[in-house]
């Protein structure tokens, strides 16, 4: 550990900047306390900038709402390709069978 190491801590539950919904979401996704550490640079000021930037990224990631997937339907061409491939597979398997005895 270096003497210029910086640890940034954000107490989610004590924050007055977040509304109740945001607070619940952050606690659920990241926990009640979010921390970020930086010891990359030699100077403490630069490490403070890095740690605060990382902390901001973690908070933003915790607050981000995932985009809901809209279900799509397969295109006509993709359905036809799938059915054609199934027909070919069936023909291939039928071709592997022994021929029926002639009566």
Taking the C-alpha atoms of residue 99 and residue 58, their distance in angstroms, rounded to an integer, is 66
Write down the pLDDT at residue 52.
96
The yes/no answer on whether domain 6-63 falls in CATH 3.30.160.20 is yes
Kindly state the tokens that stand for 18.
Answer: 């977040």
Neighbours of 97 (CB within 10 A): 7
Kindly state the tokens that stand for 38.
Answer: 């930086």
Ordered mean pLDDT values, 10 residues apiece, the chain (103 residues): 85 92 93 94 93 96 92 96 97 91 79
User: What residue spans define the domains of the chain?
Assistant: 6-63
**Between vectors from CA 45 to CA 41 and to CA 15, what angle results, nearest 5°?**
115
């Amino acid at each position: 550990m270096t003497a210029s190491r910086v640890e940034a801590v954000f107490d989610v539950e004590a924050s007055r900047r977040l509304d109740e919904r945001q607070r619940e979401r952050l606690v659920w996704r990241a926990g009640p306390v979010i921390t970020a550490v930086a010891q990359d640079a030699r100077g403490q000021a630069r490490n403070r900038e890095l740690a605060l930037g990382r902390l901001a990224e973690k908070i933003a990631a915790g607050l981000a709402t995932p985009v809901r997937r809209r279900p799509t339907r397969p295109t006509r061409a993709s359905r036809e390709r799938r059915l054609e491939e199934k027909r070919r597979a069936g023909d291939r398997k039928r071709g592997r069978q022994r021929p029926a005895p002639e009566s």
